[in-house]
Amino acid sequence: MPPRAAPLSPEDRREALVRATRPLLYEHGRAVTTKLIAEAAGVAEGTIFRVFESKDALIDETIARAFAPGDVLHRLDEIDPGLPLRERLLAMTSILQQRFLAIFELMRALGAVGPPQHLHDRPEIVTGLEEVRRRLLALIEPDADRLTMTPERVLHVWRLLTFAGSHREIADDDLLTPAQIVDTVLHGVERTDG
């Protein structure tokens, strides 16, 4: 039996359970047991049901948190807007690719082919993803006069290539590197040497 957990507020307890559940979902998917979750969180199994109505409710909350932008916004804010465009795009690609890889791995573990429908009901996720888009666009816009497409269109093409190049099934298990993605977006694939 695990040692008795320190008293936490219901919100702090929910947070601790979500944090403990996320890595277990990668390993067990939805088949994870409340016993495993309780052990990982260092609480008694019944504690879960004091703050979540069911195991499914805990799993759904954990999945929603995984899809929320999380630290992506902070990491984007750390990109120096004074860097050359290619360097900014490389940093952006690394951040987004790491996020996509984590999300795709979670979806694979859950046996899902797309994000759960209930995420569209979460305004904080919709708003957060729009904020990610806004910050990405702000990192491209300073070079608008050097681009053959609008910054919005460059962002769209870059995101599509980053998404597809980061998805093992779409990329035939041959993931693109951030440099390959960025150089394809910036320079295309046609030789210009002769």
Q: Which amino acid is at 45?
A: E
Task: Examine residue 144 and state whether it is found in any structural domain, yes or no.
Answer: yes
User: How confident is residue 4, by pLDDT bands cut at 50, 70 and 90?
Assistant: low
Q: How many domains does the chain have?
A: 2
Residues 113 and 111: their CA atoms lie apart, in Å, by 7
Q: Which two tokens stand for residue 114?
A: 């797309």
User: How confident is residue 168, by pLDDT bands cut at 50, 70 and 90?
Assistant: very high
Task: Examine residue 1 and state whether it is found in any structural domain, yes or no.
Answer: no
| Cβ(48)–Cβ(7) below 8 Å | no
Give the pTM.
0.85
32 has a pLDDT exceeding 70? yes
Residue 29 CA, distance from chain mean position: 17
Residues 178 and 184: their CA atoms lie apart, in Å, by 10
Q: Which domain does 33 fall in, by range?
A: 10-65
Residues 165 and 65: their CA atoms lie apart, in Å, by 24
The answer to which of 7-11, 32-36, 181-185 has the lowest mean pLDDT is 7-11
Domain stop point among 40, 65, 90: 65
